Amino acid sequence: MRGMTTILITGASSGLGAEMARQLAARGNDLALCARRTDRLDELKGQILAAHPERRVELRALDVTDDDQVFEVFGAFRADFGTLERIVVNAGLGKGAPLGTGRFDVNRETAMTNFVAALAQTEAAMEIFRDQQAGHLVMVSSMSAMRGMPKTMTTYAATKIGAAYLAEGLRNELYGKPLGRTVKITVLYPGYIASEMNELARDKATFMVSTEKGVAGMVSAIEKEVADACVPTLPWAPLSLVMKHAPLGVFKRLM
């Protein structure tokens, strides 16, 4: 997909979503941005238009756990622009508690936001792409999807592999078919990229990179329409092999 495109980003009010919006606008793309916090979206739109007054930026409030609203908002954005070339399923939560410690409510909230809501977004996106006979679905997963994770990360990691498998299953379905040549699927596996979600871990996380650097790797992978990418590539691409295949004792020491 070359040249200017219209890109819908969920969870665009902060963190990786907001920085993707800034960088994609700088590369000549129009934006459909949605999130629960519309005041943040208004502020972001102002920043983007101040830097790139020729861009078009449309905003809508969206709680991705409201299934009906997901379909309504995606459809309304398509009506705004006529077509949506890319849809980035980005909204997510980083909450979690060790299983069996009395915080099912926290784990359920993460599961509903990161997986069930990702399913709703993927369904809505694919309805549009099937109708258009073209599009690019980008699923933001996580390096934690490489292996079952312990303690507070257990549910989060499970949701992120689930979201990745939604996208991979679509790629499998479309492979070798006419629609597979015009609908592209990308799964991103970000490592430690500074954001509001992992603010408490910034001082402890090895390999943490700035939001700008991490998102630059994500945007590069999106524009290349790769099937999947660990970002930043170093150290996460080689580490993904270690995470997947290291004996459990070695893996626990790494974590």
Q: Catalytic residues, which ones?
A: 156
How would you classify residue 16: left for phi > 0, otherwise alpha for psi between -120 and 50, otherwise beta? alpha
How would you classify residue 46: left for phi > 0, otherwise alpha for psi between -120 and 50, otherwise beta? alpha
Beta-carbon count within 10 A of 80 CB: 14
Q: Are strands 135-140 and 30-35 parallel, antiparallel or unpaired?
A: unpaired
Q: In this structure, are residues 139 and 186 in contact, taking their beta carbons and an 8 Å threshold?
A: yes
Q: In this structure, are residues 23 and 219 in contact, taking their beta carbons and an 8 Å threshold?
A: yes
DSSP 8-state secondary structure symbol assigned to residue 99: T
Q: In this structure, are residues 87 and 66 in contact, taking their beta carbons and an 8 Å threshold?
A: no
Q: In this structure, are residues 137 and 188 in contact, taking their beta carbons and an 8 Å threshold?
A: no
